[in-house]
Structure 1
Amino acid sequence: MRDAGKLPLIEAELYGDTDLLKIGQTSLIVSIIAIIGGNVVKANAKLGGWVMRGSGAAIFITSCYYNYYGRIPAHIIVAGGLIGISRKTDLSHRPNVSL
């Protein structure tokens, strides 16, 4: 019989369901990597975009394994990564705006 006051991950660990615990930890680590990739976009758009795209794909794969709560954030991270990849950082491509 399960106690109602335990946290779900601790409960999963106590009752032998360590796969769920490992996938949750993997999703957390990949989400942190996606945040780092989002911060790198300002300095190096291509690198940050690829990091975000890879992290979004990994979140999508892990969320499809045990629940579907990560699908929408994964799509948003992949879209942000694609925007970062296609971003032009060269100053010669910017339009000439004179006041």
Structure 2
Amino acid sequence: MTSRPDPLVAFDIRDSRNWWKVTNDSAYHESLLEWMRAQGMNPSITYRLEIHLIDCPSARIYEYDLNSDGHRYSVGNDLARREPYEVILPSLPPERTLR
């Protein structure tokens, strides 16, 4: 099994040490959300996003699962999660994320 290279950048709402840097800058946070929506992602259910630049820009997306009513639900003590998936990106996230 081949290991995945480290991402160019990763956003993880569970990493409070770094996530506050995104959410405390409201203009930047909004530009990131707009970029995600433009790529076809759903920021309201995404809990981790890894950006890779190997042959082309790509993302590995981690999302919470939704029930038939469109709401998050729990499995035991955790929110249900979908299997992560990868997509090719037409563009990279806003510049500030790459610093």
Q: Higher Cα Rg: structure 1 or 2?
A: 1
More strand by share: 2
- Between the two structures, name the one with larger relative contact order (CA 8 Å, sep ≥ 6): 2
Q: Which protein has the bigger helix share?
A: 1
Q: TM-score scaled to structure 2, two decimals? A: 0.26
